[in-house]
Amino acid sequence: MCDTVCSLQNDRTLFAKNSDRPVHEVQLIETFGARSPGGSIATQYLEIEDRGASVVLGSRPAWLWGFEHGLNEHRVAIGNERVFTADDAAAAEPALIGMDLVRLGLERSRTADDALDVVTGLLDEHGQGGIADATNDEAYFSSFLIADPTAAWVIETSGRSWAAKPADTGAAISNRIALGTDWTRASADVTAGDDFDRWRDPKSWAALADIRLACTLPAVTGADRVRDAADLAALMRHHGERPWGRPGDDSTDVSALPREQLGSNGEGITVCMHLRNYQATAASMICELPADGDEPLRAWVAPGSPCVSVFVPVFPPVAVPTALGSTATWDRFDTLRERVEKDPTELLAIRAVLGPIESELWAEADHISHDPGQHAAFVANAWSDVDRGLEQLSA
């Protein structure tokens, strides 16, 4: 279960994703360098032609080759969601999985339109199949949100079938088929006038996604939509009551974790996920994709659940702390998640330490954003500040 959003502003696109995965599944945030075309590349289950790669920053479950979300040096960002469809994902032969398609889309594209062509071309050629949740031994198909500084696409899939729709002002996707007849591009088996909802599993539980879409969709398409990356940070921390934890705001103003655990009406399902012993948000990323090529590409990455983490400012694809690619780092934040789930009153104490650190880092990053010569030093010092906060919380 995940939530991915984007908002197209006048001169840039804002993008964010919470990656919800099985509890205790480690997720790493890493930079991967460029590759020249030639030979083959091993994805999770297939070996395919290697057409080369741009420099990419991606967040991936440690056992997977592909990404839950990421962005590339050309200012393209992609995130995916599990969707429940009428086609049986468990019966599909091993092929590409959604996370492979996110990574390949980033490696091979320079625009959102390129990425759409890459992802759908790979679906047409190879299809989808294979275990994507090792904890529960489950296969599934995916939807995708692709964005660049001026455009965005929603893609929904079921096996090799797919449909896509451009986003006008913004978009939010979650764990359900949501396209109807409003798609503008589709695979050959989706004919003119087809309602893509017919690929939705009629037994799927819509509340799983709809409760979260009621929080995210108005925030990126409504009259009071998000203005900046800080607003997205607050949205990614949504515990069902309201956005909260905006960097720079009062760190004592916290929103309690949901009390219910997967109730019959969807209680307990939130954007910042805390379904005890089942699913939790394992990583979060916010991207600012400016249309002005002279303005630096920026991102903010949070290991673990964003409510007990820091959205660390980075200047991708190179100026990113290597510690974010460490299992030990992820485990430290996962320990904080467990701490607040056992005793929700601990959230205030954790934010009292991490909130001011985050606010100071965001302010400093804003100050030096247009000076590339300071980016690497800032990132190294930023992680040192976060590390000290974690040490304080573990004392």
**pLDDT, tens digit, for every residue of 117-176?**
999 999 999 999 999 999 999 999 999 999 999 999 999 999 999 999 999 899 999 999
pLDDT given at position 263: 72
Gap between the Cα atoms of 115 and 122, Å rounded: 11
Is it the case that residue 261 has pLDDT exceeding 90? no
Residue 186's φ and ψ, nearest 5 degrees, are: -160, 165
Gap between the Cα atoms of 144 and 185, Å rounded: 14
The predicted model gives 29-48 an average pLDDT of 96
Q: Is 368 helix (H, G, I), strand (E, B) or coil?
A: helix
Q: Is 45 exposed, middle or buried (0-12, 13-18, 19+ CB in 10 A)?
A: middle
Q: What tokens were used for 16?
A: 């964010």
Q: What tokens were used for 39?
A: 């030979």
Gap between the Cα atoms of 375 and 52, Å rounded: 27
Average pLDDT, the chain: 95
Asked if residues 203 and 188 have their Cβ atoms less than 8 Å apart, the reply is: no
SS (HEC) of 71-101:
EECCCCEEEEEEECECCCHHHCCCCECHHHH
Burial code (b: 16+ CB inside 10 Å, e: under 16) for 342-374 equals eebebbeebbebbbebbbebbebbeebbeeeeb
pLDDT given at position 205: 82
The predicted model gives 34-40 an average pLDDT of 96
Q: What tokens were used for 253?
A: 């103003």
Q: How many CB atoms lie within 10 A of CB 25?
A: 19
Dump pLDDT digits (tens) for 316-337.
988 999 999 999 999 999 999 9
Asked if residues 118 and 230 have their Cβ atoms less than 8 Å apart, the reply is: no
Dump pLDDT digits (tens) for 170-183.
999 999 999 999 99
Asked if residues 236 and 16 have their Cβ atoms less than 8 Å apart, the reply is: yes
The predicted model gives 226-231 an average pLDDT of 97
Q: Which residues are catalytic?
A: 2
Residue 204 pLDDT level (bands cut at 50, 70, 90)? confident
pLDDT given at position 36: 97
Dump pLDDT digits (tens) for 282-293.
999 999 999 999
Question: Helices 327-342 and 346-368 meet at what angle, rounded to 10?
Answer: 140
pLDDT given at position 259: 82
Query: Which homologous superfamily does the CATH classification assign to the domain defined by 2-304?
Result: Penicillin V Acylase; Chain A (3.60.60.10)
Smallest Cα–Cα separation from 283: which of 266, 300, 268?
300
Min mean pLDDT across 26-35, 81-90, 103-112, 256-265 is at 256-265
pTM for the model stands at: 0.97
Whether the ω angle into residue 22 lies within 30 degrees of 0, i.e. cis, is: no
Each domain of the chain, given as residue ranges in start order, spans: 2-304
